[in-house]
Amino acid sequence: MPAADVLRPLHRGEPMLAVTFNDLESFCREFHANLTKGGIFVPSEETFELRSTVEVGIDLRFCNEALVLTGEVVHCVPPELASAGAVPGVAVQFERPVSELRALFKGLVGEIPEPGAAPQPAGPDGSERREAERETARVAARVATLDGIELRGLTRNLSISGLLFSVSDEPVAVGEAVIVTLEDGETKESVEIPAEVVRHVEGDGDDVMALGIRFDLDPERDLWAQEFLKRVCDQEHTRRLGGINGDIEELGLANLLQSFGQSSPEGTLTVIDGGLEGSIAFESGMLVATQLGRVRGRKALARMLRWTSGSFEFHARIDPALERDTPQHLDGAILDAMREVDEAEARPGPRPGPRTRFRVDDATFQELASDLGKLECAIVDLARVGANVRKLLDVIPESDADIEAALDELLQTGVLAEEIAD
């Protein structure tokens, strides 16, 4: 697009998306938070088609300058979500490269000072800051070891120095060399980056839920890979503008999901509790994707609905990196999952912890074998090979409530006895 189009003056009153900055301080905050990443969120009651082209008028009243930029709609927050605490509007990713946008604004405004630098908090899993600040980004990725093992999943965050990768299979050991493959969802370009697994993030059992991976890039030779990573991070940042964030405990996850389902035609709710991260996506009143680690569908939904703490993030779009399930009615799925939660919470007495393993009493098992169902036998088979409670719940397809009830029965009859609880 010619520079003359970008610098076309903004005629106040002309119909277009418009943002006004009355003072340098507010512009500096927006410039460093979003404009330098190639995007902006514009509050608006209008609705726009995703991927449509729009013009954004930027009125720099504090320096008596104005301009129009062309961009693509990458996220919409509908007016219906205002009741849920959202600001209706449109996230726009500009056509101009970030380097040109920076030069353009500096030419109009002059030097743009950094906003006051606040201390950076630790990550959600308690980790310290990395050498490059990582943007929350859910990008489809492959992690392959040098001996051919390949994991597929989503990133949780991403930077030019590394990523946090959600695991749904057996994890790769800390210290192992890997090749990470990432794809730009817009251009379909991909990049392979040599890397190393540097840490494990555990869930509430001894399962590893995420891998911390550090890239092995030469800052002078691997310029294209660094530019690729920066571009993907910027795109993800822009798509996340306008999202709703908060704590689960304020309303409860079931109420949040019902509220968003009634207020938005589609959306993705991401929930985080310690090292655990789950995603719930709906469209036109139908639940279309639910995932928590290696668990999917209603089982994953029921497990997340039992959470009483943690945080959530909602975006009024379907996360394209999610793998879809068989659609089911959202309200019905919530009711079924809540029924499972109620059944599980109604069981009296203490429960074995997620790391607990069991010893099988073969004599008692043989005595009672004819009275045991398929679920009880499946639990016994897994217990024999050292599966802990978390593994039993993840591997067996029945609901957590049914598995926990069957496990209680096996413990009470003496078929199983707790062996390890750490």
Residue type, 204: D
Over residues 236-253, the mean pLDDT reads 88
Average pLDDT of the residues of the chain: 87
Q: How far apart are CA 290 and CA 306, in angstroms?
A: 15
Say what the alpha-carbon torsion angle 190, 193, 197, 203 is, to the nearest 10 degrees.
-10
Burial level of 214, CB count in 10 A (0-12/13-18/19+)?
A: middle
DSSP state of 66: E
Instruction: Decide if pLDDT at 422 tops 70.
Output: no
pLDDT digits (tens, 9 = 90+) for 404-416: 999 999 999 999 9
pLDDT of residue 270: 94
Give residue 102's pLDDT band: very low, low, confident or very high (50, 70, 90). Answer: very high
The Cα 165–Cα 193 span in angstroms is 14
How are beta strands 140-145 and 65-77 bridged, if at all?
unpaired
Q: Assign 381 a pLDDT band (cuts: 50, 70, 90).
A: very high
- pLDDT band with cut points at 50, 70 and 90 for residue 275: confident
Could you tell me where the beta strands, DSSP code E, fall in 95-176?
135-136, 140-145, 150-158, 162-166
The string of pLDDT tens digits covering residues 40-51 is 999 998 888 888
Nearest to 93 by CA among 147, 144, 17, 9: 17
What mean pLDDT is predicted for residues 108-137? 62
Q: How far apart are the C-alpha atoms of 179 and 217, rounded to whole Å?
A: 12
Residue 305, C-beta contacts closer than 8 angstroms, at least 6 positions apart: 253, 254, 334, 337, 338, 341
| For residues 104-133, average pLDDT | 64
Question: Over 60: is that where the pLDDT of 35 sits?
Answer: yes
Cα separation, 116 vs 356, whole angstroms: 48
Determine how many CB atoms are found less than 10 A away from the CB of residue 136.
18
Stretch among 2-6, 291-295, 328-332, 397-401 having the lowest mean pLDDT: 2-6
Q: How many C-alpha atoms does 267 have within 13 Å on its Cβ side? A: 28
- Does the pLDDT value for residue 201 go beyond 50? yes
What is the identity of the amino acid at 347?
Answer: R
Predicted confidence (pLDDT) at residue 191 exceeds the cutoff of 90:
yes
**Contacts for 228 with CB less than 8 Å, ≥ 6 apart:** 182, 184, 189, 191
- Dump pLDDT digits (tens) for 309-353: 999 999 988 888 788 999 999 999 999 999 988 888 887 777 888
Tell me what the mean pLDDT of segment 96-117 comes to.
86
Predicted confidence at residue 305, as pLDDT, reads: 93
Residue 2: pLDDT band with limits 50, 70, 90: very low
Burial of 335 (0-12, 13-18, 19+ CB in 10 A): exposed
Give residue 3's pLDDT band: very low, low, confident or very high (50, 70, 90). Answer: very low
Which residue has 């679920």 as its token pair?
375
User: Residue 279 in contact with residue 268, Cβ under 8 Å?
Assistant: yes
pLDDT greater than 70 at residue 126: no
Q: Is the pLDDT of residue 140 over 90?
A: no
> How high is the pLDDT of residue 106?
93
Alpha-carbon distance 214 to 73, whole Å?
Answer: 32
Mean pLDDT of 200-220: 86
Please state, in angstroms and rounded to a whole number, the distance separating the CA atoms of residues 182 and 153: 11
Share of the chain above pLDDT 90, in %: 59
Length of the chain: 422
Instruction: Measure CA 258 to chain center.
Output: 19
* pLDDT at site 7: 47
- Global pTM reads 0.79
Please report which confidence band the pLDDT of residue 118 belongs to, taking 50, 70 and 90 as the band edges: very low
Q: How far apart are CA 88 and CA 177, in angstroms?
A: 45
In which band, very low, low, confident or very high, does the pLDDT at 120 lie, cut at 50, 70 and 90?
A: very low
What token pair was written down for 39? Answer: 């995007």
pLDDT, one tens digit per residue, over 303-315 is 999 898 999 999 9
